[in-house]
């Protein structure tokens, strides 16, 4: 094989912090067919391609100690939607990944404690929330474009933050001992 298919586009998207999953065709299929070849190519230029156990790809962060500006916003956003599902007694993973959501129906401003958390990360209204969702779409964690007005759904790569939220919610005696994998956005 002389050249890996879609290499330039895969490199560009991953280098910008995107996560590539089943919704990202044809790049995702190419990565699935030749994962070792892509990993070897990227290793040659100093990048580590990660194939997540939930079947999506991303680059390992250059500096795992650096926290991107959007990560606290995404973490609070995620916590609230998970807390909301749990308070309703809904199976959380099914709730998150099994439906589309309307931005204006999200619980993030429905309770004072949720609104206070959102304000702490400079998300004050639905406009700010939409901007956050647009950033999450840029990194491949949600799908906004192509759905109905004000509608979005979570994509498989959202498992990076979703799994971490569930892990942190576990009582200490049930939490894994070495579960610290940095998340970059």
Higher pLDDT, 67 or 135: 135
How many whole angstroms separate alpha carbon 1 and alpha carbon 49? Answer: 19
DSSP 8-state secondary structure symbol assigned to residue 75: H
Which tops the pLDDT comparison, 168 or 54? 54
Residue 133: predicted pLDDT = 96
Higher pLDDT: 63 or 25? It is 25
Domains of the chain: 7-59 (1.10.10.2250), 70-169 (1.10.10)
Q: Cα(31)–Cα(41) distance, rounded to whole angstroms?
A: 12
Q: Is the dihedral of CA 174, 166, 54, 61 positive or negative?
A: negative
Coil, strand or helix: which one is 70?
Answer: helix
d(CA 71, CA 121): 10
Instruction: Please check the confidence at residue 3 and state whether its pLDDT lies above 80.
Output: yes
pLDDT grade for 90, boundaries at 50, 70 and 90 = confident
Residue 176 pLDDT greater than 60, yes or no: no
Residue 4's SS3 state is coil
Q: Alpha-carbon distance 3 to 143, whole Å?
A: 30
pLDDT in tens, 32-70: 999 999 999 999 999 999 999 999 999 998 877 777 888
């Amino acid at each position: 094989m002389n050249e890996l298919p879609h290499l330039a586009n895969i490199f560009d998207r991953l280098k910008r912090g995107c996560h590539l999953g089943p919704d990202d065709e044809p790049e995702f299929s190419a990565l699935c067919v030749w994962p070792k070849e892509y990993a070897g190519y990227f290793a040659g230029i100093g990048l580590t391609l990660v194939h997540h156990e939930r079947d999506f790809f991303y680059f390992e962060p250059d500096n795992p100690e650096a926290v991107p500006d959007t990560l606290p916003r995404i973490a609070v956003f995620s916590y609230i939607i998970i807390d909301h599902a749990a308070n309703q007694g809904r199976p959380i993973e099914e709730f998150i990944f099994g439906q589309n959501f309307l931005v204006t129906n999200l619980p993030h401003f429905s309770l004072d404690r949720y609104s206070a958390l959102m304000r702490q990360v400079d998300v004050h209204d639905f406009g700010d929330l939409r901007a956050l969702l647009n950033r999450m779409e840029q990194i491949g964690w949600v799908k906004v474009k192509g759905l109905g007005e004000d509608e979005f759904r979570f994509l498989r790569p959202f498992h990076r933050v979703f799994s971490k939220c569930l892990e942190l919610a576990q009582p200490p005696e049930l939490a894994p001992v070495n579960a610290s994998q940095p998340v970059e956005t």
